[in-house]
Structure 1
Amino acid sequence: MVRLAHLIPLGTVFLLFSNTVVQATSVVLDRGTFVGYSHGSIDTYLGIPYAKQPIGNLRYRQPEANDPYIGIYNATAFGPSCPQVSEATPTGAEGADLTDLTQLLIATFPTPEVTIAEDCLRINIWAPRGTKAGDDLPVVVWLHPGAFVFGEAGPYNGTAIVERSVQNGRPILYVNLNYRLAAFGFLPGREAKEAGITNLGLRDQRQAFHWLQQYIRSFGGDPRRVTIWGLNAGSESVGLHMLTNGGNNEGLFSGAVMQSGFPLPLNNYTQLQSTYDAYVSAANCSGTPDTLECLRQAPLQTLLTAMDTIPPETLTEGWEVIVDGEFIPEQPTTLLMKGSVARVPYIIADTDDEGTETALFFTAIDTDEAVRSWIVTEALPGISDADVDQILTLYPNDPAQGSPFNTGAINEIFPHFMQLSAIEGDLEFQGLRRFFLNHTWNYQPSWTYLSKLFKDLPGIGAGTSTDLLNLYGPGDLTDYLINFVALGNPNNGTGVVWPQWKATSPKILTIANDSVPLTIIDDTFREEGINLLISLLLQNPQ
């Protein structure tokens, strides 16, 4: 049945953007017609449901494929954002002066005005204008960041990337999507495990990949050439899709790009039972015959309020990806060491100062004793005093050796800040990047880069997400990305040749705001310290 609320006249000129006429464009899926818009050189389709929406009895269920589409659908606006927690403001932000970074990110990634609702499993597609079924263009799929507890696809507009691909003579399609977050997407505990609803946000992503296999050809895309790409939580998601299902990617993707977020040791579903219990209690479902069914029936506002009573992520509670024995059968690091990984080419990347933005939350860790306590209780629980001594020898409280690296004491915004930033960045980012490379390079082509862009941002330096400003700019990294999506190799025979990473020759592309922005160096910086941190992490998984 045609839903009248979705009816709009086909072929009509219906929008104005900056006084430029925008025309309707449409695509047929099953017996449904999705009407998007053409603006400049891009066709855009927004807010397409890629699964049955997780509302009513489908709340806290695995995602299900849509019934065949029928009728006419308005695909000119983003769908709702998924329910989520509020993004936290770091306590050390005053000294860092985040104004410049915030303004840069807002200018590049403006957030559209949308509602928060559970019917949020929507996908968005940008294609070169006039692309049609049979063109078989390669596709890149963006998974947004947000620590699995907040975020949305809407700010990450694919226009600049698709336009650049056309200019480069290698046209691609850009896709992004929303997935369930926080308590709605990552419910832990025995009850969630028994119901098979752990890691629902990752399962949503996987369902979106299946949707693309079925429908992307109608938009002119090639389902055989799909690259999945993400930052932070989105990047960790990409890595986990490479590791799940015994490394069998089911033909869902042919390449992967990971930025500043990699599979790391995880809690299992029982270790976070207290989170489930606290959530149930706050939602007034304690003592009911079936607490999960009570959660399914509860009003949305009740669940949002209950969710916000629980810290979003700590060692012992929160909304996190977990080892569930199913989607993630074992620790990701174990799966990597076993070689249980999808054999697809990939790019894996870090910024130079990954730890600074996390360390802004550590203002209370401002003495030598507090740093030692943080290491043995939070960073690497269970390690010995001798191990701590060795870490502090390699990562001393010396701004000259701290992060933001090579910036001196000017960025020591509170005592021990640069020391903490260096440890955090190497433990959770640089070390895990190298760990992934070391255990996969001999199976598949792999490339890695280090971004030193925006080193002059006070306190932050080349922090997490700063390289996105180049990728969506567009900039040099955009071109490498387009080449990789189109060719399975970031090189196209021109410019700086980016060598594959090999354990026998670990080369890394560096990009900086210098007169020579692109260089190739050995990926061996801080090798002794990084090797120590990762070996201790593997001995004492969180």
Structure 2
Amino acid sequence: MGNRHVPGKALKAYPEKLPVVVFVYGGGYVFGSKDSLQPELPFYDGTGLISQSDNNMIFVAMNYRVGAFGFLAGTTMENEGIPNTGLWDQRAAFQWVKDYISLVGGDPTRVTAMGQSAGGGSIMHHIIGQGGKLDPLFSKAILLSPAFEYMWDRGGTVQKTFEAFARLAGCESQGVPCLRRADTSILANANTQLMKQQCSGTFAVGPTPDGSYIRQLPVLELSTGNFWDIESLILSHTTAEPNVFVNGLVQTDSDFKSFVDAIFPNYTQAAGITDKIIAFYAVSGQSKYKSQTDRVQAVLRDSSFTCNIRHLTESFGDSEVWNLQYGVSPGWHGTDLFPIFSSKLGGKSWLENLAARVTPGIGSLTSGTSIALQSYLTSYILTGDPNTNRKIFNLPPTVKWNHPSSQGEQILGVVNLGNWGFSTVRDGQTEKTACDFWKDVAAAVTGLGGYSPPDAVVQQRLVDVQDSSVNYNGGNR
């Protein structure tokens, strides 16, 4: 299933069962594993967090299927297989923790799900599983840069992706039974070729509405109250989430249109949805998008990353979340993993040694940043509040982390971790106007396809829809 890091006290019949954190790794839903970056980078190793908690928690890291092995969907998979098997793998790991973690001193009633990028996006999908009626098997969650690409056209684009994979695997028109008989090396090569066909900045597969486990896009379930109301969440994003996914090839308006069209199926183009996206992110006049690269980054940031933070904040309510922005230079997607998974060895952390070599004189500050950030997270895991055990007397010192205020255009009261420490800021990357626009887009494309669950149709202002549920069914049968 995965790795379990258990402190000695839990194995020595310690009288109090310890809280558990279960980590879900990222990788765009197409690559990665719980130890894929080791030993070069000790990511997903819980020893740093366990040490910061004074050995008062258990850390579990799981594996799950990725790429076409884990996220093929569409009507054929709904009828002949199981869509979103990667999510089911993750659920099996959470179920294992619930059933057996007590055998090694863990408390199955105090499980915190923690995930970064695709891992955070996966947790978001578990929260809305079966329209919020399926217990996700955790009571709290830490979502770091929760990310996923909109995939909803079950009988169209998503089905065509399945057919493309089947064709690459030598199973054209032969369905799931043929794929199950195919040699794994052939499937692996087909998976690689499928990913290579994608437009830069997009992915072939990922969590996909299937009418059953995932009824529709998460923002639509959240906005209609169809989610499991876990106790609380920590929600975080970096300041430059999309930069590593944008290669600068989009140079003209025509290039930008081709990029948007690559994400959205033909019926949304015909209805004018793509034109509205292009207009919303216009490069002209007083627009804040001064280049085509700015536009692409903004589209990816809002649709795939930061608006997930606002949607969750608004749905759960300000009093149940804490918001964080990670802005240590360069602020790229995934760079927050360095301080979160730093662990001390021989009196110095590998992170401190790295920082001292790269920029002499700031090693201690970098190590202190890791200690402070870990203290927030472990305090939350242990007590449900990131402030209870935070390191106040530290370099840099922590600040009191209050709940946010999400009523305005920008979310207020967000803790920012910058190059020189912590502060409280207003978040300019989760603006209400942009996130409401993407909620409208999600509702419009789902309704136009007829994929809306009849009991959870979200109204939108972009297009007229005759029957939002005409093609909806109960998924895998």
Structure 1 residues 528 and 200: CA distance shift in structure 2, 3 A: closer
Q: CA deviation at 1:244?
A: 0.6
Q: Which residue, out of 62, 71, 89, partners 1:204?
A: 89
Structure 1 residues 222 and 161: CA distance shift in structure 2, 3 A: same
Larger mean Cα displacement after TM superposition, 305-314 or 483-492 = 305-314
1:174 & 1:258 partners in 2: Cα distance?
A: 16
Matching residue's letter, 2:378: I
Question: Which residue of structure 2 aligns with residue 522 of structure 1?
Answer: 426
Q: CA deviation at 1:378?
A: 3.8
Question: Which residue of structure 2 aligns with residue 128 of structure 1?
Answer: 7
- In 2, are the aligned partners of 1:452 and 1:511 still within 8 Å (CA)? yes
TM-superposition CA deviations, 1:458-508 (whole Å, max 9, x none): xxx311111111111243221111011111111116531111123347321
TM-score by length of 1: 0.66
Matching residue's letter, 1:537: V
- In 1, are the aligned partners of 2:136 and 2:228 still within 8 Å (CA)? no
TM-superposition CA deviations, 1:116-163 (whole Å, max 9, x none): xxxxxx211112124225541111111010111110001421111111
Aligned to 1:310, what secondary structure does the other structure show? helix
Structural mapping, 1:73-472, within 5 Å: 122-132=1-11, 133=13, 134-154=15-35, 155=37, 156-166=44-54, 171-248=56-133, 250=135, 252-262=137-147, 265-271=150-156, 272-286=158-172, 288=174, 291-311=175-195, 314=198, 318-344=204-230, 345-360=232-247, 363-375=248-260, 378=263, 382-383=272-273, 385=275, 388-392=278-282, 416-441=292-317, 445-454=320-329, 461-472=330-341
Report the number of matched residues.
Answer: 391
Q: Which residue, out of 481, 484, 492, partners 2:377?
A: 481
1:211 & 1:229 partners in 2: Cα distance?
A: 16
Larger-Rg structure: 1
TM-superposition CA deviations, 1:252-304 (whole Å, max 9, x none): 1110111112466432432322222222233233365xx32222222111211
Determine which structure has the larger strand proportion and give its number.
Answer: 1
Question: Which residue of structure 2 aligns with residue 8 of structure 1?
Answer: none
Structure 1 residues 264 and 285: CA distance shift in structure 2, 3 A: closer
Aligned to 1:489, what secondary structure does the other structure show? coil
Structure 1 residues 313 and 507: CA distance shift in structure 2, 3 A: farther
TM-superposition CA deviations, 1:397-449 (whole Å, max 9, x none): 87xx77xxxxxxxxxxxx6434432443233222231122112216x611111
For structure 2, list consecutive stretches of 5 or more residues without a partner in the other structure.
38-43, 343-369, 393-398, 447-477
Aligned to 1:475, what secondary structure does the other structure show? helix
Matching residue's letter, 1:479: S
TM-superposition CA deviations, 1:165-184 (whole Å, max 9, x none): 11xxx611111010011121
- In 1, are the aligned partners of 2:24 and 2:61 still within 8 Å (CA)? yes
Question: Which residue of structure 2 aligns with residue 24 of structure 1?
Answer: none
Structure 1 residues 378 and 201: CA distance shift in structure 2, 3 A: closer
Q: Percent identity?
A: 27
2:215 & 2:103 partners in 1: Cα distance?
A: 35
Structure 1 residues 417 and 396: CA distance shift in structure 2, 3 A: farther
Pair 1:510 & 2:406 matched: no
Structural mapping, 1:9-24, within 5 Å: none
1:365 & 1:281 partners in 2: Cα distance?
A: 30
Report the RMSD for the aligned CA atoms in angstroms.
2.9
Structure 1 residues 525 and 287: CA distance shift in structure 2, 3 A: closer
1:284 & 1:343 partners in 2: Cα distance?
A: 44
- In 2, are the aligned partners of 1:349 and 1:433 still within 8 Å (CA)? yes
Matching residue's letter, 1:506: L
Structure 1 residues 237 and 314: CA distance shift in structure 2, 3 A: same
1:144 & 1:130 partners in 2: Cα distance?
A: 27
Question: Which residue of structure 1 aligns with residue 348 of structure 2?
Answer: none
